[in-house]
Structure 1
């Protein structure tokens, strides 16, 4: 029962079946009967977990699991202490209120690969980098959170899921590796 760490490239669909000629997980991972444990939007990049174990897949993706996920987020604008405080507190996004999050301003990650195509850059508009950790994962939640505090997301990279991180398991976009599922099960 493999547990696969995969660094999903920008614009790759988080599914194995094809759709209108767009790249999918099947273009990168050639392991039969494996499925994503959770999702990552096409316009987001970074760490995904894949497995052929249905129980493990359900445990990772289920909202009751509360597996922490850390995202590196480049936003448009200056992330000031007030915006960070709002991101950390429960935030009303209209259709739900977020749980408290961890949010800190960070330096631009020097280890991060360039995005292809690059984000749009405007000389007159500054950008900031944030590390945001959440234990839930509603549809486009991090993007909606940053927009709600006036900091639209330009780039979103999931760096970590639970004990697994691109910092400790460096993978370039499109690369994957098998890891022991026991590390994740030990946290259950």
Structure 2
């Protein structure tokens, strides 16, 4: 029997589909299970791009020290001033992905293109049944906003995943959610 099970009720990510509605930005304080720290030479310009382009909110800031940004619950980014140590360590090549909904992709892409021409790739569809927009931030971070598409068990993506042993829980049959590898 497999240890995998459907646990979507734990996630803030809404069910996929063209009419999925994104949750409001989460303003609560919690012990962050994961976050990204991004050094920047210009806190104000970086904050503007992440907020105006990528749709984050400024949860709080300590002037000159840190800006805590957030989209949904568990989507936290800390912008910090680049120091002598971090200035020589480039964040170029760093990639982070955030869940979104399909209706957010085009507006985010347009906002980022307006703020920083040439910074956006996509949207593009992936073999794992998502549509993604890739944005290079002013600091050089590659941010991927990814939205799940509706699952079609007859689609090429579903057939590919089934061929490698990954089947959707609702189509697997049995109590172990089917074959996993």
Q: Which has the higher contact order (CA 8 A, sep 6+)?
A: 1
Structure with more helix by fraction: 2
TM-score normalised by L of structure 2? 0.27
TM-score normalised by L of structure 1? 0.26
* Structure of greater Rg: 2
